[in-house]
Amino acid sequence: MEFLSLILLVLLPIIGAIIIFGPWFPQNEVKIRRFAKGWAGLVFIYSLFFIVGFNSSQAGYQFENILKLPNGNDWIAPLGINFAFGVDGISITLLVLTTFLVLISLIASKYSITKRHKLYYSMIFVLEAAILGVFTAKDLFLFFLFWEIELIPMYFLISIWGTGRKEYSAMKFILYTFTGSIFMLASILAVVFYHYSQTGILTFDLGVYTAIKDYSYPMIFSILAFFGFFAAFAVKLPIVPLHTWLPDAHVDAPTPVSMLLAGILLKMGGYGLIRMNLQILPEAVKVLAPLLIILGVINIIYAACIALVQTDLKKLVAYSSVSHMGIVLVGLGALNAAGISGAVFQMVAHGIISAGLFMVVGVIYLRTHTREIPMLGGIGQNAPRIMYFSLMIVLASLGLPLLIGFAAETLAFYGAFTSYAFDGFSAFGWYLPVSIRILTAVGIFGIILTAAYLLWMFQKVFYGNILPRWKNFHDATPHEVVILLSLILVIVVFGFYPKGLSSIFVPTVNNIVNLI
C-alpha cells in the first residue's frame, strides 16, 4: 500500500479548492458542481483504501507520515513541531465518515446553493481538509492548527449561503469555538512545557504524550489542563450550557452545511475528548469521569426536553443532536471498553443519522419554504418515498434495534451502567456506583423522550390528510433518493452487523482503556 499517504489525503481537498477557485476554471455552475462531486468522490474512494489497508487488530498509529523540509529538517525544528500524520482505529472511522458525508452533502448542494458556486465549493473543500487534518494530525500543534483553520470556511458557509440571522449565527459560531480553543492552546502549551521541564525535550508529538510516560502530572495541574482541553471540546460537542451556538448555526445554515455541521464537526469534539483528555491526562480523567456522565445525562435530558417543545423542524433536529451527543459523553465517562466503543459508535451513528435528518428537513423546506411543524401535514400522501426514507432515519435516531443507533446507545449505556463495580476502587464508597447507575437509568429515560418528540414530529409532518396548500408537493428527485438511500444503506448495514464497524476501532479502544 505504498500509494497511501495521509498527507496526500489532507492535501487533495485543498488542491480541489484551488482548482475550483482559480481563474482557469469556468464559471459554469454545472461544471463546477460536477467537478466538485467528482473530486469529493475521488477523495472518498482514496480514503476507502485506507480502511482496506488498515490492520484493525493492531492498536496504535498506522500510516504514519511525516513531511520534512527539503533540507531534511523537521517542519518547524526549533520548536519540535512535525508535519506528522497518523491514524488509529478511531480516527480512521471518522476519516471515512468525513469523506463520505462531504460527498453526500455536495450531492445535496444542487438545490440549496444558488449563488457564488466557486466560493462555495472551494470552501467546502477547505473545510474537508481542515477536518481531515484534525482527525489525522499526530502532532499537538498540527491538531490545533487544523482545529482553527476549520473556523473560516464554516463562517463563510453559514454567513453567505445561510438564511435568517445568518451573520449573527456565523459570528456566534466563530466566537464560541474560538473562545473554547484558546483554552485548549493554553493546555497544550502547559502539557508540552511540563514534558520539557521533566525531560528536557521540546516536542509536540502526540505519540509522546499519549503513551505511558515516566512521570505523572501533579493532580491540580492535571485537572486544570483537563478543563482547558475540555473547554474547547465542550463547545464543539456541544455540552449544555455551551450549546447555544448550535441551534442558531443549524437553523441558519443551508442544508448541506447543516449536514456537515451535525455529521462531522460535532464529532471533532468527541474525538478531541478521546484523543486529548482521555489519552493525555488519564490521572484527571479517573477523577472527573463521573462528571462526564453527569454532564452527559444533563445533555440528554435537557436537550430532549427542549426538543419536545420546538415547532421549528430544524431546531428540533438540532436539539436532538445535542441530546444524542450526550450519549457520547456518557459513554466516554464510563472509562471502560464498552462505554468508549459505544461513544465512538454513537459518533458514527449520529453522523449518518443527523445528516439524514437534516437532509429530510432540507427536502421539505425546499418544497414548502417553511419549517414550522404546525404548518405542515399529510406530506406522506404526496411523497411516499420521502416518508419511508424519513421513517427509517427517524427510527434509527430513536434507537430501534437492528438500526445503527441501537448498537451505539446500548453499548454506551451498558458501559456507563457497569463502570463502577461495587467491590472495586471507589473513593466514595457505595454512593458512587449507585448514583452512577441511577443517573444512567435517568439517561436511558431520555431515549423515551427522543422517541416522543421524533414520532410526534413525524406524525405531524407526514400523516393525516394533506393540507390543500401543499397539494403540489412532489416526491423525492433522483438526487435526493441517492442521498437518502445511501445514508439508509449505512444505517441498515451497520445496524444488522455492528461488528463490521466496531472491529475497526475496538483494539484501539482497548488500548486506551488499558492506559487509563
Partner 1 sequence: MNLLFDIANALLPEMLLAILIIICLVLTFSFKDDEQNLVFIAAMTGLIFILVSFVFLPNFQENSAFSGAFISNNFTILFRILILLGATFTVLLSKRYVSNFGNSIGEFYTLILMATLGAMLLTGANDLIMIFVAIETLSISSFALCGYTKLDKFSNEAALKYLVIGAASTAVMLYGFSFLYGITGQTNVDDIVYALSNYEGSIALIISFIFVVAGFGYKLSAVPFHTWAPDVYQGAPIPVAAYLSVVSKIAAFAALIRFMTLIYADISIFTVVIAVISVITMTAGNLMAVGQKNIKRLLAYSSIAQAGYVLLGLAVLTTEGISGMIFYLIVYLFMNLGTWAAVQIFASQTGMDSIDDYNGLAHKNRYFALCLSVCLLSLAGIPITAGFFAKFYLFKAVLFAGYEYMPLLIIALVNTVFAVFYYVKVIRAMYVRPVGKFAKQNGEVKISLSLQTVLVLTVLATVFLGLFAGPVIDLSKASADSLRINKKPQIENSTNITSCLGQ
Residue 208 in the binding site for partner 1 (CB under 8 A): no
Instruction: Rule CB under 8 A: choose which of 25, 35, 44, 75 binds partner 1.
Output: 75
Residue from 190, 208, 291, 451 binding partner 1 (CB under 8 A): 190
Q: What sign does the CA torsion over 41, 47, 51, 53 have? A: positive
Cell of 289: 469521569
* Contact assessment for residue 316 and residue 373, using Cβ atoms and an 8 Å cutoff: yes
Q: Is 77 in the site for partner 1 (CB under 8 A)?
A: yes
Based on C-alpha coordinates, what's the Rg of the chain? 22
State which of residues 30, 45, 48, 175 lies at the interface with partner 1 (CB under 8 A). 175
Q: Which of 1, 30, 48, 182 binds partner 1 (CB under 8 A)?
A: 182
Q: How many chain residues interact with partner 1 (CB under 8 A)? A: 42
CA angle 40, 41, 44 (to 5 degrees): 90
Q: Least distance from C-beta 204 to partner 1, angstroms?
A: 10
End-to-end CA distance of the chain: 33
C-alpha span between 161 and 116 (Å, rounded) = 9
Contact 508, 59 (CB under 8 A): yes
| Torsion on CA atoms 125, 128, 130, 134, rounded to nearest 10 | -170
Choosing from 46, 51, 163, 167, the residue that interacts with partner 1 (CB under 8 A) is: 167
C-alpha 155/C-alpha 150 separation (Å) is 9
| 156 in contact with partner 1 (CB under 8 A) | yes
Binding window for partner 1 (CB under 8 A); candidates: 95-103, 194-202, 283-291, 488-496? 194-202
| Residue with Cβ nearer partner 1 (79 or 489) | 79
Instruction: Please tell me whether residue 242 binds partner 1 under the rule CB under 8 A.
Output: no
Shortest Å, Cβ 504 to partner 1? 30
Nearest to 253 by CA among 328, 355, 177: 355
- Name which position in 197, 423, 465, 474 contacts partner 1 (CB under 8 A): 197
Q: What does the buried/exposed string (b/e) look like for 387-421 if buried means 16 or more CB atoms within 10 Å of the residue's CB?
A: bebbbbbbbbbbbeeebbbbbbbbbbbbbbbbbbe
Under the binding rule (CB under 8 A), the answer on residue 73 touching partner 1 is: yes
Q: Is 220 in the site for partner 1 (CB under 8 A)?
A: yes
Among residues 181, 182, 185, 160, which one has the least CA distance to residue 171?
Answer: 160
Residues in the chain: 516
Q: State residue 435 phi and psi, 5-degree precision.
A: -70, -35
Which of 141/345 has CB closer to partner 1?
Answer: 141
Residue type, 421: A
Q: Which of 1, 45, 69, 309 binds partner 1 (CB under 8 A)?
A: 69
List, in order, residues 6 or more apart from 464 with CB less than 8 Å away: 377, 378
Rule CB under 8 A: choose which of 30, 79, 366, 515 binds partner 1. Answer: 79
Among 179, 199, 503, 514, binds partner 1 (CB under 8 A): 179
The distance of closest approach from Cβ of residue 180 to partner 1 in the complex, given in angstroms and rounded to an integer, is 10
Q: Between residues 192 and 274, which has the closer beta carbon with respect to partner 1?
A: 192
456 binds partner 1 (CB under 8 A): no
Catalog residues that contact partner 1 under the rule CB under 8 A.
Answer: 69, 73-79, 119, 141, 145-146, 148-149, 151-152, 155-156, 159-160, 166-167, 170-171, 174-175, 178-179, 182-183, 185-186, 189-190, 192-194, 196-197, 218, 220-221
